[in-house]
């Protein structure tokens, strides 16, 4: 019995579901909003649950990531990690979505 392989049955002009979704997001200009939503939903994984649990509000506007936290200690910690956080966030989506990080 021959091994089953998707590549053997795929036509040269077929695309994967991922590629189709990527094209759809770009065609309807939804890419930026999709990436922003992805960042917000992944916040606990990107920053850690200890800080994420103390995050009161998070949103992105004009390439600025706004985060409101309840503790002065957490604000200080986030300020120290500002560049790292921007890097993690942009790495998560694979492009530059956030250029500034503002702590409220």
Q: pLDDT value at position 33? A: 93
Total-model pTM: 0.79
Token digits of residue 20: 């189709």
> Which pLDDT band, with edges at 50, 70 and 90, does 14 fall under?
confident
Q: How far apart are CA 34 and CA 22, in angstroms?
A: 10
> Residue 96 sits in which domain range?
15-103
Q: How far is the C-alpha of 72 from the C-alpha of 4, rounded, in Å? A: 57
**Tokens 């930026």 belong to which residue?**
32
Whether 73 maps to a domain, the answer reads yes
Count: domains in the chain: 1
Decide which of 102 and 6 is more confident: 102
Closest CA to 93 of 65, 53, 51, 56: 65
Looking only at the bridges linking them, the beta strands covering 55-61 and 64-69 are: antiparallel
Cα 86 to its chain centre, rounded Å, is: 10
The reply to whether 85 falls in a domain is yes
Could you tell me which of 58, 102, 61 has the C-alpha nearest to residue 82? 102
Note whether residue 10 is domain-resident.
no
Reported as a single tens digit per residue, the pLDDT across 30-81 is 999 999 999 999 999 999 999 999 999 999 999 999 999 989 999 999 999 9
């Amino acid at each position: 019995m021959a091994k089953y392989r998707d590549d053997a049955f795929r036509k040269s002009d077929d695309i994967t579901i991922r590629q189709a979704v990527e094209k759809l997001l770009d065609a309807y200009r939804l890419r930026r909003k999709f990436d922003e939503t992805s960042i917000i939903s992944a916040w606990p994984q990107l920053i850690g649950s200890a800080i994420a649990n103390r995050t009161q509000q998070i949103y992105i506007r004009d390439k600025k990531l706004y985060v409101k936290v309840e503790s002065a200690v957490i604000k200080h910690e986030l300020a120290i990690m500002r560049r790292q956080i921007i890097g993690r966030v942009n790495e998560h989506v694979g492009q530059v979505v956030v250029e500034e990080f503002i702590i409220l």
